[in-house]
Amino acid sequence: MIPLLILSPLILLAAIGAVWMARPVHAALMLALTLALVAVLYLALGAEFIGLVQFAVYVGAVAVLIVFSLLITRPGDEAEEIERRPRSLVTGLLCTLPVMAVLAYTAASGSNIKLIPWQPKLSIAELGEVLFTSHAPAVLALAVLLTAVLIGAALFAREPDKTQDDSSEK
Amino acid sequence: MKTGKPTRWVLPGLGLFQGLAVTGKNMVQSFYKKERMTTVQYPEERAPISPNFRNFPFLVYDKDPKAGLRCTACSICEKECPPQCIYIVLDRDENGKSLKRPKVFDIDLSVCMNCGICSEVCPFDSIYMDGEYELSTDDRFGGLLFGLDRLSKSAEYHMKLRPEQASEVMARRKADEEKKAAAAAAKLAKAKADAEAKKAEAEAKAAEGKGEDA
Amino acid sequence: MNLFAAISTEPALWSPEWLPRLPQRLVEMLLGFLGAPEWLVSIAGFLVAAGTVVGVFLGGFALLSLIERKTLARIQNRIGPNRAGWFGILQPVADGIKMLTKEDIVPAKAEKFLHLLAPILIVVPAILALGVIPYGREWTPVSLELGLLFFFAVGSLTELSVFIAGWASGSKFPMLGAMRAISQMVSYELPLIISALGVVMVSGTLSLPLIVEQQGGFHLGFIPAWNLFTPWGFFAGILFFICSIAEANRCPFDLPEGESEIVAGHMTEYSGFKYALFFMGEYLGLFAISALGITLFLGGWQAPLPGLGFLPSWIWFFGKLAIVIFMFLWIRGTYPRVRIDQLMRFAWLCMIPMALLTLPAAGIWTILNRDGHGFLAWAITVPLLLIPCVIVTVIFNRRLASANRTYRFAE
């Protein structure tokens, strides 16, 4: 309970920072901080595997990719961004409404929420077994999707005038 | 390969290991092969300087640093020096007669450009280029102004620094001296002969006079 | 919090295995003698244990900075630093004093806070990663069940901190360096992790001490049962080594800080102590990745020959570490820097396919060996890996490495 109390305000602050920062790079770094704090929360709750994976994948890969794509794009106008804020805020709040509604519904309907009893820790071997037996179709679908994305990205990244280059080389 | 010639097939990646072998050999041999290590540990060891190395002028003296100075304060070098870094004051005795030696001979290191013209023009074999290179100092003004005391170096030093040039100079000077001595001896002999001739003449005259008288 | 819990079992008193943990035990005994409460004793013990590891590797960093210069000098037939102290042994001290007393310059256009944050963020993951390595039979600072995952998780923070350094400096060269660094590290992290996965498949655990323990014993009485001496382990080990060179930003993959091209990459705008921190982070990262490689492929603290077990295990570990680090230095002294397009091509066209191939090879190896078909395992896995390796090398050598690069903007 204590880690949750300490961490959740921090996560919230970081998340608000991620949407509030005018500079895209700052926003991306705040996003990375948010994800890292969520990972810490997982660790604090005893879910080591998911916490470390969260850290490796989200902080190590996703945040880095966002940041990298920021590096190779032209930054927008900051003043414009700040000017746009009130409208963006309204839109953003509207978008959160469904989530809020679900949360409110759960909170209102349920005095039946009870604390989940401490589960014996799931070993990685078991996790792997579950992933590759009962959840194998999902994993495979995901793999196909990712492969398709990778191939698509490679196709997009290919230089369009490759054949001309080849002919000029000769 | 763009050239149509088929190149000899080598194992791909072989070059990586060949490169490692070369550097590995370098490293191992550097521990026992003296000729590999060319580093000179400077303040303790010095690389020998070439006789052609010329850096800053110095004044040569024979035997005595004060009296043996070859310089006659003729000021030719002072006038020829392109950046005018030489300053000479002629030494005179109380009567104002030239002593043919410098009272002040200063070279400003900060101005000197090491061209060596001073040594080229000196008719007295007095000024030569030095091999000294540790001339840096923390005293900007005094430390860079070289007076007679620091400029004067012995003929032996010159001999050691640049043996070929120095021995040639010494030989010439010796020859000159001998010639001079010979000339002086000849002069002396001639004077003696002259005196004798005069004397004889005088005697003859006297005798003649006597004879006339008589 | 399981992270800080298990410090491995107490070794026998006065055994040489015990030596690295002597400070920890002494502090614990002293505090216990003074009647300190239990939690204080354990926290102090933990701090001292962590301090031991950090101290060892900071000392190693200082020593390595000297040895690297000495080795490179010898490779180039020079002498290297030999003025400060006996054979230059005090050179790191002199360097440290110089670094500490230098002016700390923050560029006017820099983001002050991020500029300060980046060097810290680069040291922290390296030290964290060093914490989970089993250095000896009884010396694993933090024995995690998920040690390998933890290592890669904290290691991935390095990319972010390099980006922060490059971006917060507010100038061109750091930015270029950061872009190069990120693209390089992302590309090489993939084959790095995949080649480590083979070990996980075979040993069935992510715990580093267990992985080391499974590499104990000897084949035929004298070949150590390290992962390196299996077909898949050999290939995976080499791939891991190449990737770790790239991850550690060392020559020939030192493009992110190629000094002849972009000054010092993301470290260009750093000076004084912050620069020293970058330097330190880089060397600690090098230690960490070499230590992981040793743990995964070179049998960690296992002795290389039977009958050499009388030496304490951590000596073997650090001996192997020294050899691996020397390989890094040797390679740095030998190879020229590659071009960025060669680097990326190599990563995506050679490293990743080969790394992926080690996975089925490891699987086949494990299954066949479990069923007792040792010879069949060799017969299948060796061609499975060797033939694609030769094909990839030949193709890369013929076509890709010598392909002319087209310059779009600088003609």
Question: Which residues, at least 6 apart from A152, have a Cβ–Cβ distance to it below 8 Å?
Answer: none
Q: Which chains touch A (3 or more CB pairs under 8 A)?
A: C
Asked if B137 has any chain C CB less than 8 Å from its own CB, the reply is: no
> Are the Cβ atoms of A56 and C149 closer than 8 angstroms?
yes
Strands C223-224 and B98-108, how do they pair? unpaired
pLDDT for the residue numbered C289: 92
Q: What percent of chain A has pLDDT over 70?
A: 81
What residues of chain C, 321 to 340, have a C-beta less than 8 Å from chain B?
Answer: 330-331, 333-335
Strands B98-108 and B145-146, how do they pair? antiparallel
For domain A1-100, say whether CATH 3.40.50.300 is its number.
no
* Cα–Cα separations (whole angstroms), residue B73 to A16, B89, B103, B151, C265: 89, 7, 8, 14, 62
How many C-beta atoms surround the C-beta of residue C215 within 10 A?
24
Nearest Cα neighbor of A63 from A54, A73, A72, A52 is: A54
Asked if C76 has any chain B CB less than 8 Å from its own CB, the reply is: yes
pLDDT (tens place) for every residue of chain C, 411 residues total = 344 444 444 545 566 777 777 777 777 778 877 877 778 877 887 888 888 888 888 888 988 989 998 898 888 888 888 888 788 888 888 888 888 888 888 888 888 888 888 888 889 888 888 888 888 877 777 777 788 888 988 888 888 888 888 888 888 888 888 888 888 888 888 899 999 988 888 888 888 888 888 887 777 777 788 888 888 888 899 999 999 998 888 878 888 777 777 888 888 888 888 888 888 888 999 999 999 999 998 888 888 877 777 778 888 888 899 999 999 999 988 888 888 878 888 888 888 888 888 888 888 888 888 887 777 778 888 888 888 888 887 777 776 555 566 666 665
Half-sphere exposure of A98 (CA within 13 A, CB side): 2
d(CA C296, CA C217): 15
- Packing angle between helix C272-297 and helix C91-101, nearest 10 degrees? 130
Count contacts between A and C (CB, < 8 Å): 76
B73 within some domain: yes
pLDDT for the residue numbered C12: 55
pLDDT at A119 over 90: no
Q: What's the alpha-carbon Rg for chain B, to the nearest Å?
A: 33
How many C-beta atoms surround the C-beta of residue A133 within 10 A?
9
d(CA C77, CA C89): 19
Nearest beta carbon to residue C153 from set A25, A32, A52: A52
C111: left (phi over 0), alpha (psi -120 to 50) or beta: beta
pLDDT digits (tens, 9 = 90+) for C316-375: 888 899 999 999 999 988 888 888 878 888 888 888 888 888 888 888 888 888 887 777
Please give the DSSP secondary-structure letter assigned to residue A60.
I
pLDDT (average), residues B18-27: 88
pLDDT top residue among B155 and B11 = B155
3-state per-residue secondary structure call for C317-367: HHHHHHHHHHHHHHHHHHCCCCCHHHHHHHHHHHHHHHHHHHHHHHHHHHH
Q: Which chain B residues contact residue C78 at CB under 8 A? A: 37, 39
Both tokens assigned to A93: 């709040």
d(CA C192, CA C129): 15
d(CA A15, CA A34): 6
pLDDT at A165 over 50: no
Nearest Cα neighbor of C64 from C95, C85, C41 is: C95
Strands B57-61 and B152-154, how do they pair? parallel
pLDDT (average), residues A149-164: 72
Confidence of residue B143 (pLDDT cuts 50, 70, 90): confident
* Cα–Cα separations (whole angstroms), residue C301 to C102, C224, C237, C399: 40, 12, 17, 42
d(CA A53, CA A62): 12
pLDDT for the residue numbered B114: 87
Q: Which chains touch B (3 or more CB pairs under 8 A)?
A: C
Enumerate chain C positions whose Cβ falls within 8 A of a Cβ in A: 1-3, 114, 144-146, 149-150, 152-157, 159-160, 163-164, 167, 175, 178-179, 182-183, 186, 189, 204-206, 404, 406
d(CA C142, CA A136): 34
Question: Which residues, at least 6 apart from C343, have a Cβ–Cβ distance to it below 8 Å?
Answer: C184, C187, C246, C253, C255
Nearest Cα neighbor of C393 from A141, B109, B17 is: B17
Chain A interface disruption, residue of C163, C187, C344, most A CBs within 10 A: C163
Chain position carrying tokens 């943990």: C21
B109 within some domain: yes
pLDDT (average), residues B25-46: 84
Residue B30 and residue C77 in contact, taking contact as beta carbons nearer than 8 Å: yes
Domain residue extents for chain C: 102-400
Cα nearest neighbour of C81 on chain B: B41
pLDDT for the residue numbered C407: 65
d(CA C68, CA C286): 12
d(CA C366, CA A123): 21
Closest Cα of chain B to C339: distance in Å? 16
SS3 (DSSP) at C370: helix
Residue A57: alpha-carbon gap to chain centroid? 9
**pLDDT-wise least confident of A94-108, A128-142, B197-211, C75-89:** B197-211
Chain A interface disruption, residue of C4, C151, C156, most A CBs within 10 A: C156
Cα nearest neighbour of C176 on chain A: A71
Residue A71 and residue C178 in contact, taking contact as beta carbons nearer than 8 Å: yes
Q: Which pTM value belongs to this model?
A: 0.78
Nearest beta carbon to residue C71 from set B13, B19, B27: B27
Residue B72, domain extent: 57-154
pLDDT for the residue numbered B2: 47
pLDDT at A144 over 90: yes
> Are the Cβ atoms of C163 and A67 closer than 8 angstroms?
yes
Residue C227 and residue C199 in contact, taking contact as beta carbons nearer than 8 Å: yes
**pLDDT-wise least confident of A11-15, B23-27, C383-387:** C383-387
> Are the Cβ atoms of C406 and A67 closer than 8 angstroms?
no
Residue C167 and residue C114 in contact, taking contact as beta carbons nearer than 8 Å: yes
Side chain identity at C371, as an amino acid letter? D
